[in-house]
Structure 1
């Protein structure tokens, strides 16, 4: 039986009519979609005749560039390296300063000759104040001890060095404590002024007037042009009949922390740095309950902590300070017997 003719030639072919029909169908679909899409642009006039209104494309607006860009770059306050020499002259006079300045420059001790600043004692543990202080004079006329040229000498110190330190003894202050026992003095449980193991008297950190007295002097020192105020004797007595002290109701460490906070507030409108001298043992051990000192309380409230130490101790003490106050630096206080002062920050003490 012979195969059907033409079968293999017809199989798989598509007629031209079907192709044309498919193309027309696609065009009709596209046209319908276009009509649907254009419906929202068809507007009828008052006679009912439709017409097409296409939206007008707004021209691209050029980017506006402000004439003046107000860019504020916040400067990071760099911690300067402190290579300080402690001045021993109290009160400082012009002649004494000229002599001291030349001796620093000509010193054969490397730590002294490379010094970039000095620390001037403006109030010591005797209670005397060595600059013209209105705050001190208001408490007792015997507190302020100056010479005729003291003001000029202090001004020249601040002009000679771009950075200067004022050393301010705080609560160990027999003169002010006895001048105002009720308002500022540290009392015993019998209601009288307390005498420590060295027969000296203290201001009471728990009394607002005592704290304000010291804060007022800090503000005066800022106005004189000092760049840093180093607080010393920030503690309660640690020698004598301590069980006889009337500490009041507030914890000792809280009173000292409040004092540092008030100091910060007093200096808030100035660029003056606040620093604190502590015993080396307080830093190493973290606290001294008798003195009312806790490193974790005080370190965050100051920019630097100073301590009399050896070069061998300095690295460990710096680590303890950094752990207690993230942004707080450490400055060792050296002498010829304890350090060389050839690197890093230091405060060189008189021999």
Structure 2
């Protein structure tokens, strides 16, 4: 019996050591305690793909009052009426009708959201290696055919706020002392300082252009600006002195990648701080936006006004309600 007991204890000890060895790269220690960050293969995925049949989400600017006296500020603002639809609305032929019913002149389709999954079939190496593509192999052709119509289509991409790539490859992420950086909603960020990440994002933008979209809407286009930023670890993926230089390199690469699509508009979601000429920590600057963006989208809190910026088309974001009907859905 003693021999059996010793054998059992040895087996338990060996299994415990093996589990510790396997989990060690995924165990993170922080002021909030211990967190085990398993790779996607071992994570729950039942709720990762919400149904397509969601109600349209409208993001519009106020309708100008024809009787109002023109002001210098009005010259830089534009009225953009857009509605977010599912990709199945586009490929199924109902997007035009839904956009018209919503009073929108543009339809926004999320090709890459913050979860990192793609709504189409990409040929980028990360998409293939980490199985991020849409399951439908015919979706690209359907998107191209649908984009050939009269509807003005916008491809939404969450550039660097990407929850899945840092799980597979930690070298691509913004780091904290415990591993990957997590923002206030528990979402990870890839680093614009990484040449591989920049190549991946610009490649996705080039593919969206080739699919026939009229405009790219680039959100989370920069370094993290939300969450406990003090917990970010300074290293080669986050050098506070080089944030703008890294974003400049990104936009230069993006311009080169999109050189064959001169009619394509590039829009960037930014902050009032950047438009007012101050830093918000993203690495974006007013000069960068004026040079590389066709227009910018910006949330305007109550009581604040937009600056007048010559040569930059500004779309103030007006949320339609709260929760599922707010701009926050497009993270």
Alpha-carbon distance in 1 for matches of 2:271, 2:85 = 20
Alpha-carbon distance in 1 for matches of 2:84, 2:205 = 19
Deviation at 1:310, TM superposition (A): 7.5
How many equivalent residue pairs?
A: 243
Deviation at 1:337, TM superposition (A): 5.2
When normalised by structure 1's length, the TM-score is 0.60
Mapping of 1:107-122 within 5 angstroms? 107=101, 112-113=102-103, 115-122=104-111
Residue matched to 1:268: 259
Structure 2, unaligned stretches of length 5 or more? 1-75
Deviation at 1:173, TM superposition (A): 0.4
Mapping of 1:1-351 within 5 angstroms? 83-89=80-86, 92-93=87-88, 97-105=92-100, 107=101, 112-113=102-103, 115-135=104-124, 136-141=126-131, 143-147=132-136, 150-161=139-150, 163-182=152-171, 184-189=172-177, 192-237=179-224, 238-248=226-236, 249=239, 251-271=242-262, 272-283=264-275, 285-309=276-300, 316-317=305-306, 319-320=308-309, 322=310, 326=311, 328-336=312-320
Alpha-carbon distance in 1 for matches of 2:143, 2:307 = 31
When normalised by structure 2's length, the TM-score is 0.63
Alpha-carbon distance in 2 for matches of 1:318, 1:258 = 27
Alpha-carbon distance in 2 for matches of 1:302, 1:279 = 14
The answer to whether the Cα contact below 8 Å between 2:166 and 2:188 also exists between their aligned partners in 1 is: yes
**3-state SS, counterpart of residue 176 of structure 2:** coil
Cα distance per residue 1:255-275 (max 9 Å; x no partner): 122211211111112222222
Taking only aligned residues, the RMSD between alpha carbons, in angstroms, comes to 3.1
Alpha-carbon distance in 1 for matches of 2:230, 2:145 = 43
Higher RCO, 1 vs 2 (CA within 8 Å, ≥6 residues apart): 2
Deviation at 1:241, TM superposition (A): 4.9
**3-state SS, counterpart of residue 234 of structure 2:** coil
**3-state SS, counterpart of residue 288 of structure 1:** coil
The answer to whether the Cα contact below 8 Å between 2:106 and 2:152 also exists between their aligned partners in 1 is: yes
